[in-house]
Amino acid sequence: MNFLKDSLSIFKKREIPFLEYYKESEDVYTFLFEKEKDLTWKAGQHGLFNITHKKIKNPTRPFTLVTTPSEDIVKITTKIDENPSEFKNALLELKQGMKVSMNGPVGGFYLKENNPSLLIAGGIGITPFRAMLKQIEEEGNGNQEPIQLLYLDSEKAFLFKDELDSIANNASITITYIDSRDNLYQEIERFSTLYNSKGKYLIAGPTSMIQSISTYLQNNGTPKRNIKKDVFFGYK
């Protein structure tokens, strides 16, 4: 029933007013939109955002919602480099009060079961995990099993670091900041050794990273059903 409800939400389109945007780092921006009172989602899900204020070739993009429903705001965070796509240029042109349309939120990339869980983020892939950890903090950390976040960023920018550290202190979540693939795999191996097939793995980041980590886990005996991958990143 929950699966059907999640699937049907893709057909629900809302017009959400733009509030503001700001820089998180040199090439990462956060965009804020008003939230309707009845809008809800599971932390980690994404919405399909559609540019409506100008005509562009590909007006729809998926973005993870960085916030939880109780934060009463819709927030997305994305990389925008020196040569942004037409869509991201349009995002930067938004003025307060302009509206974009959003379908969803949808997707199965969220924490479901009370299992030891390893959250693996690469770069901008931290966005769904910020929402998940914030929700755990809001709910009082009722999950009795350990949750660990491995956050890989070779540039050491580590988005939301102060906020993540505060959440971890309040909710007894372990966060490890990593700047190399070798160290990342060492931490994954340590977790896998502790929890074997009981552990759950959620991976978000560049496609190549997700594929290599998923392959590594399966080659080392992790059941495929224990691995979740977030395939929407909003890079271009």
Position 220 in a domain = yes
Position 21 in a domain = yes
Instruction: Give the domain CATH number at 9.
Output: 2.40.30.10
Position 183 in a domain = yes
Question: Any idea which residue has 């059941």 for tokens?
Answer: 223
Instruction: Give the domain CATH number at 188.
Output: 3.40.50.80
Position 56 in a domain = yes
For residues 29 and 71, membership in a common domain is answered with yes
Position 236 in a domain = no
End-of-domain residue from the set 71, 106, 141 = 106
Q: pLDDT tens digits for the chain (236 residues)?
A: 454 455 566 668 899 999 999 999 989 999 999 999 999 999 999 999 999 999 999 999 999 999 999 999 999 999 999 999 999 999 999 999 999 999 999 999 999 878 899 999 999 999 999 999 999 999 876 557 899 999 999 999 999 999 999 999 877 799 999 999 999 999 999 999 999 888 999 999 999 999 999 999 999 999 999 999 997 544 44
Q: Can you say whether the dihedral through the CA atoms of 173, 113, 129, 69 is positive or negative? A: negative
Helix, coil or strand: residue 83: coil
For residues 18 and 101, membership in a common domain is answered with yes
Q: How far apart are CA 132 and CA 3, in angstroms?
A: 19
What is the number of H-type helices and E-type strands within the chain?
A: 6, 11
For residues 29 and 75, membership in a common domain is answered with yes
Taking CA atoms, 111 is separated from 2, 117, 134, 150, 181, in Å, by 14, 8, 12, 16, 24
Position 169 in a domain = yes
**Torsion from C-alpha of 85, 156, 105, 215, nearest 10 degrees:** 100
Nearest to 183 by CA among 93, 122, 103, 106: 122
For residues 138 and 226, membership in a common domain is answered with yes
Domain extent, residue 205, equals: 117-230
Quote the number of domains for the chain. Answer: 2
Q: Is the peptide bond before 62 cis (omega within 30 degrees of 0)?
A: no
For residues 66 and 156, membership in a common domain is answered with no
For residues 162 and 102, membership in a common domain is answered with no
For residues 94 and 129, membership in a common domain is answered with no
Q: What is the pLDDT of residue 143?
A: 57
Strand pairing report for 13-25 and 28-33: antiparallel
Q: What is the pLDDT of residue 10?
A: 67
Position 141 in a domain = yes
For residues 217 and 126, membership in a common domain is answered with yes
**What is residue 156's DSSP assignment?**
-
* CB proximity list for 148: less than 8 A, separation 6 or greater: 117, 118, 119, 173, 174, 175, 176, 191
End-of-domain residue from the set 106, 128, 150 = 106
Q: What is the pLDDT of residue 1?
A: 40
Strands of 28-33's sheet in order across: 60-64, 46-50, 99-106, 13-25, 28-33, 74-79
Structure tokens that stand for 154 in this block: 């070779």
For residues 41 and 91, membership in a common domain is answered with yes
Taking CA atoms, 115 is separated from 78, 127, 140, 165, 221, in Å, by 30, 21, 17, 22, 17
Q: What is the pLDDT of residue 25?
A: 92
End-of-domain residue from the set 61, 82, 106 = 106
